Structure 1
Amino acid sequence: MSGKGKPDPSLLDAHLQHRAIVTEVIQPGQRGRVAYQGTTWVAFCRYQVVLPVNTPVRVVEQYSATTLIIEPVPLVNTPSLLPDNIA
C-alpha cells in the first residue's frame, strides 16, 4: 500500500477491467469472496447491492495484497446502485 487506505498503483494495472465470479455472497458494506485468476480473493463492492454466488463482477481495484474492489457486470448507470456521494 502506498499509504493508509490507498492502494499501491503498481498493484492495480494487472487487475483493472478484469472479470471474476462471486464465490461467497457479498452483502452491502460487507466483504465476500470471488474467484479470480485461478484463486479466490477477499472482495468488497462499494455499491449497495447484494452479490449472490456465481454473479459475474469486474475487478476495478486491488486494495491490498489479498483484497479486491469489485462491481457488478454489467453495471448500469442506475442511481439506486450508486453510492450516496455519487448520486
Structure 2
Amino acid sequence: MVISVYYALKYQTDFKKAVITAVNQSGDSDRTGVITGNILGAYLGVEEIPENWAKEVELSQELTQLADDLVKTNENSEGWHQKYPGW
C-alpha cells in the first residue's frame, strides 16, 4: 500500500506519529497502520516503538525470540535444528 510508504517517509523518525496518522486516515486504515508500523519498525528498530504499545503485544517474548533466531538462520547447531525442525 503506497500510502503506508508515504506515512513511513513523512514521519520516518517518529514511529508513534506515523502509525497514529496511518490508522486515522480514511480507507483501509487498519492495514495501512500495520504496514506503516512494519516499515518503520524494521527501519528504526524495536527501541522506537512506544513501550506501552510493545508491552501489549501478545506473545511478545516468543516473537522476540523468533526474530532473534531468524537472524541466526545459518546457525548449524543441534539445539537450533531441534527448535526449528526442517529448516
Structure of greater Rg: 2
Greater fraction of residues in helix: 2
Task: Indicate the structure whose relative CO is greater, using CA pairs within 8 Å and at least 6 residues apart.
Answer: 1
Same fold (TM over 0.5): no
Normalization by structure 1: what TM-score? Answer: 0.29
Normalization by structure 2: what TM-score? Answer: 0.29
